[in-house]
Amino acid sequence: MQDTDMKEKQAAAEAEQEAKQTAENTEAEAAEEAVEEEKEPEVDPKDAKIEELQNRLLRLQADFENFRRRTNTEKEQLSTFVTANVVGKFLKVLDNFERAEASVEKGDNVEAVVEGMKKIRRQFEETFKDLKVVEIEAQDAKFDPNIHEAVMRGHNPELDDEVIDMVFEKGYKLGDKVIRHSKVRVNSND
């Protein structure tokens, strides 16, 4: 029996030794994991959200910059197209002026030159009509600072105050946009 007791004690000692060894190994592994966790800190969810939002912001800024460049390019192209269209309409008028100049230099009939100038003026008016440019009515109208520019005051007892009695330079507008104000003399009976 002594042999059996001894074997049991030895087995118990070995088991205890193994348990100690296992405990030491577990502690060593836990320590290693703790060191690794210290090396690779856990990402805070707030930091992750901040980084995600920063990335989204950068992408949005890049998209906006691309949109702005594209819009500017389209505006320039549209402006060029509109300018070319308007210039094309006035080139016909310029051609007729050049023909009129050549006719004057030849010393042809003065009446024909005057008639040609009237036709050129009508062509100008038609071109303005095509472009939807209209003359601002000013003569004998009530003065409106939104469409008229008063350059003088006149005195005429036959007219009411603030009525335009003379137009020095015609004004024009495109739709509701004034291109050039009418330069006028406004009546004042004071």
> What is the DSSP pairing of strand 133-136 with strand 164-169?
unpaired
**Element (DSSP H or E) covering residue 9:** helix 2-39
Angle subtended by helix axes 110-130 and 45-106, to nearest 10: 160
Alpha carbons 87 and 62: distance in angstroms, whole number: 38
How large is the average pLDDT for residues 150-173? 88
| Residue 183, strand partner residues | 149, 169
How large is the average pLDDT for residues 46-66? 93
Stated pTM of the model: 0.56
Give the rounded percent of residues in the chain with a pLDDT score beyond 70.
Answer: 87
Alpha carbons 182 and 24: distance in angstroms, whole number: 101
The pLDDT assigned to 32 comes to: 67
Confidence of residue 99 (pLDDT cuts 50, 70, 90): confident
Q: What's the pLDDT tens digit per position in 22-51?
A: 777 777 676 666 655 555 567 788 888 999
Please tell me whether residue 52 adopts helix, strand or coil conformation: helix
- 130 contacts 89 by C-beta, under 8 angstroms: yes
Confidence of residue 69 (pLDDT cuts 50, 70, 90): very high
Please tell me whether residue 188 adopts helix, strand or coil conformation: coil
Q: What's the pLDDT tens digit per position in 105-160?
A: 777 677 877 888 888 889 988 888 888 899 999 988 999 999 999 998 888 888 78
Q: Is 42 left (phi over 0), alpha (psi -120 to 50) or beta?
A: beta
Instruction: Report the residue count for the chain.
Output: 190
Confidence of residue 60 (pLDDT cuts 50, 70, 90): very high
More confident residue, 55 or 82: 55
Phi, psi of 53 (to 5 degrees): -65, -40
Give the rounded percent of residues in the chain with a pLDDT score beyond 90.
Answer: 31
Alpha carbons 187 and 184: distance in angstroms, whole number: 10
The pLDDT assigned to 36 comes to: 57
Mean pLDDT for all residues in the chain: 83
